[in-house]
Amino acid sequence: MNQSSVLSARSIYKSYHKDKIEVPVLRGVDVDFDPGVVTALVGRSGSGKSTLMHLLATLDRPDKGEVYFRGQRIDDAPRARRDAFRNQDIGIIFQFYHLLPELSALENVLAPTMISCSVWNYFTHRKEVRLRAEAMLDRVGLLHRAKHKPSEMSGGEMQRTAIARALMTDPSLLLADEPTGNLDTETGRDILKLLSQLNQDDGLTIVMITHDDSIAAGADICHRMKDGMLESAGEFANSSEPIRTSSPALSAA
């Protein structure tokens, strides 16, 4: 694997089994995500993008192949290491936000930190944790909605809350599965701008999954999922090299 990459996948295979029939989804995926780079994984619905993201996030395990985080194998690491990887090293956001409906925006941002702390640890650090959560809401432009529940927020605001939640642990990499998939074009563009800002200001490495070519075109590098493999993104742009758009990243989206 590439030693300088934040996250790498090597020869990843994954099949699902439905009524005793094997459905191959990933058939030898190789990819590297380098520090500070925004990478788009683009492909049609059903092409295996979410499956790959789940494997990269260690939410599921490949049938064959390896995932490396900062050069260390992570897919077969002990459960505690994989939990720590998911809870601290990476941030994950989804199309449908996955917010808890009974909690306010601020509480949603706080919740994973509360859960991962021991009661004592949370008790002694709660002011600090709360200030951090407020700072993250502010970072995504949503401090004025801190007390709103998801039902009292727009789709864009819910996605901002989910991004703030993902930033709580200061992750080095953000995995985003169709982050604009449920939003109107204008709001989707605002979310992309926010991700682009996080990349430029904080050097956050971003992996963005999308079925939408116009969104993928804004990334620094773009890989296309096809037939269970990642095609050299070059075919996407009629060249043999991955696309490298001029900065700022995502500006074209």
Contacts with ligand ADP by CB under 6 A lie at 16, 18, 23, 25, 43, 45-51
Q: Is 47 in the site for Mg ion (CB under 5 A)?
A: no
Cβ 26 vs Cβ 52: under 8 Å: yes
Q: Find the part of the chain contacting Mg ion (CB under 5 A) among 33-41, 49-57, 114-122, 232-240.
A: 49-57
Nearest CB to Mg ion, comparing residues 50 and 58: 50
| Residue number with CB closer to Mg ion (27 or 54) | 54
| Residues pairing with 208 in the sheet | 40, 176
- Does 180 bind Mg ion (CB under 5 A)? Our answer is no
Q: Say whether residue 58 binds Mg ion (CB under 5 A).
A: no
Least distance (Å) from ligand ADP to the CB of residue 30?
Answer: 17
Question: Smallest distance, Å, CB 79 to ligand ADP?
Answer: 21
Minimum CB distance to Mg ion smaller for 94 or for 236: 94
Q: How far is the CB of 178 from Mg ion (least distance, A)?
A: 6
**Using CB distances below 5 to 8 A depending on partner kind, what does residue 18 bind out of ligand ADP, Mg ion, none?**
ligand ADP
Report what 148 binds from ligand ADP, Mg ion, none; CB cut-off 5-8 Å by kind: none
DSSP string, the chain: --TT-SEEEEEEEEEEEETTEEEEEEEEEEEEE-TT-EEEEE--TTSSHHHHHHHHTTSS--SEEEEEETTEE-TTS-HHHHHHIIIIIEEEEETT----TTS-HHHHHHHHHHHHS-HHHHHHHHHHHHHHHHHHHHHTT-GGGTT--GGGS-HHHHHHHHHHHHHTT--SEEEEESTTTTS-HHHHHHHHHHHHHHHHHH--EEEEEES-HHHHTTSSEEEEEETTEEE-GGGGGTSSSPP-PPSSTTTT-
**Residue 50 found at the interface with Mg ion (CB under 5 A):** yes
Residue 208 Cβ, how far from Mg ion at the closest point, in Å? 12
Measured from the CB of residue 50, what is the shortest distance to ligand ADP in angstroms?
A: 3
Which is closer to ligand ADP, CB of 44 or CB of 125?
44
CA-based nearest residue to 57, from 36, 22, 88: 88
Binder of residue 181, out of ligand ADP, Mg ion, none (CB less than 5 to 8 A by kind) = none
For Mg ion, the nearest residue by Cβ is 50
Instruction: Give the footprint of Mg ion on this chain (CB under 5 A).
Output: 50
